[in-house]
Amino acid sequence: MHLATNSITHGSIITLKANGIPMRSLLTDLRASMLRAASCTICRVEANALKIDQAAIDFYPIAQLYNNTCIPPGWDSPPIAHTLRDALSLASCSPSEVTAIQVALAAPKAHPTQKLYNLCIVECATSDWELLLQRRLDVLLPGCSVNIPRASRNLFDSLAHTPLSQKMMIIRTVVNSWATSCRYHEKIILDCVYGCNNDHPFLADTLKRDELAHYLVCPRLWKIVAHAYPMQQPRPHPLHLMCLRFADSDPIPMVLAHIIYHSTRHSRGPSLAIKPSNKHYDDIITSAGKTAKAAAKSLYSPD
Ligand SMILES: [Zn+2]
């Protein structure tokens, strides 16, 4: 499951994980791995860092010294020995992480070293999930006032007993991470891939672009969903569809919309960049309808 760059913050992963969304921070894993390598795996880190500095001095001015360390201009990153030396001295950790790590290391070890570092880093992080959710809803539903703590609670309650794949599709929706041409800043920004612009071709309406803010209310997409999966209301509010309005929301309509959209983008690909005719849109909608029915059937009787 791909997410657009920076869809989820490092801090918000803590809240997601605590609420049954099994995500891990790659950044935390990398830092913990570096700390473990510096302290347990690679010997003589400090001595090797000094040797590298000396080698830079020997070859001066080919490699110029910067602040007495070997980072010549043009290098992308410092040598690995320096990175490990910094890790060993906890130079890359925040003050609270340094304290937590020192306390954990002084205590009898209950966890393997890397897990210990991982726990220390995670425990010191501050969750910014609600701020992130607010920012995403400002884009997806501009002008819509939402009680963020309650919406967040409703989301996690609604997803509590949902299969992992469905959880991820809803989270991907809530954080505005569908693979639309707008979200991925593609060279050509597409119109709504189901042809909403052809309904009112003389109106310049940016909300009919290929972006999630439109698909949350796209009449053509939701008609396809409703044909495949009967909904209690014909056009539920996007907050309801994203499982943010009630604690017992049904995630399946939004999961279907997610599947249908990405199947259309994947199968139609570049052909969507050439403004399709009405006939072409009819084909797209017919094909999306078949995808929707097959997906709805598999969701009714999962393996
Ligand atoms: Zn549309």
164: CA distance to ligand 1 center in Å?
Answer: 28
- Domain boundaries defined on the chain: 10-124, 131-300
* Residues 289-302: tens digit of each pLDDT: 999 999 999 987 65
272: CA distance to ligand 1 center in Å?
Answer: 13
236: CA distance to ligand 1 center in Å?
Answer: 16
194: CA distance to ligand 1 center in Å?
Answer: 5
246: CA distance to ligand 1 center in Å?
Answer: 25
Structure tokens, 228: 């495949």
Q: Which of 90, 96, 108 is nearest to 31 (CA)?
A: 90
Considering the entire predicted model, what is its pTM? 0.81
241: CA distance to ligand 1 center in Å?
Answer: 16
Question: Do 213 and 141 contact (CB within 8 A), yes or no?
Answer: yes
Decide if pLDDT at 243 tops 90.
Answer: yes
Give how far Cα 287 sits from Cα of 41, 209, 282, 284, Å: 55, 20, 9, 5
Distance in angstroms (rounded) separating the CA atoms of residues 147 and 156: 15
DSSP H helical ranges for 91-163: 95-106, 113-124, 129-140, 148-159
Decide if pLDDT at 97 tops 70.
Answer: yes
- pLDDT at residue 82, rounded to an integer: 80
197: CA distance to ligand 1 center in Å?
Answer: 7
Distance in angstroms (rounded) separating the CA atoms of residues 11 and 260: 31
Structure tokens, 192: 């709504």
Least confident of 145-154, 188-197, 200-209: 200-209
Burial category of 90 from C-beta neighbours within 10 Å (exposed 0-12, middle 13-18, buried 19 and up): middle
196: CA distance to ligand 1 center in Å?
Answer: 4
231: CA distance to ligand 1 center in Å?
Answer: 19
Distance in angstroms (rounded) separating the CA atoms of residues 261 and 82: 47
192: CA distance to ligand 1 center in Å?
Answer: 5
Distance in angstroms (rounded) separating the CA atoms of residues 278 and 183: 25
What's the mean per-residue pLDDT of the chain? Answer: 87
137: CA distance to ligand 1 center in Å?
Answer: 19
230: CA distance to ligand 1 center in Å?
Answer: 20
131: CA distance to ligand 1 center in Å?
Answer: 29
Helix (H, G, I), strand (E, B) or coil at 249: coil
198: CA distance to ligand 1 center in Å?
Answer: 10
Burial category of 265 from C-beta neighbours within 10 Å (exposed 0-12, middle 13-18, buried 19 and up): middle
Decide if pLDDT at 195 tops 80.
Answer: yes
Structure tokens, 255: 């999961």
Q: Vertex 173, ends 205 and 224: CA angle to 5°?
A: 65
193: CA distance to ligand 1 center in Å?
Answer: 7
- The DSSP secondary structure of 15-74, one letter per residue, reads HHHHTT-----HHHHHHHHHHHIIIIISS-HHHHHHHHHHHHHHTTTTS--BTTBS--TT
Percent of the chain scored above 70 by pLDDT? 89
* Reported confidence tier of residue 141, pLDDT bands at 50, 70, 90: very high
Decide if pLDDT at 62 tops 80.
Answer: no
Q: Which of 44, 40, 46 is nearest to 109 (CA)?
A: 40
176: CA distance to ligand 1 center in Å?
Answer: 16
Q: Is the sign of the CA dihedral 160, 164, 165, 170 positive or negative? A: positive
- pLDDT at residue 54, rounded to an integer: 79
- The DSSP secondary structure of 270-301, one letter per residue, reads GGGGS---HHHHHHHHHHHHHHHHHHHHHHHS
240: CA distance to ligand 1 center in Å?
Answer: 19
210: CA distance to ligand 1 center in Å?
Answer: 8
167: CA distance to ligand 1 center in Å?
Answer: 24
276: CA distance to ligand 1 center in Å?
Answer: 14
* Reported confidence tier of residue 240, pLDDT bands at 50, 70, 90: very high
Structure tokens, 268: 């139609």
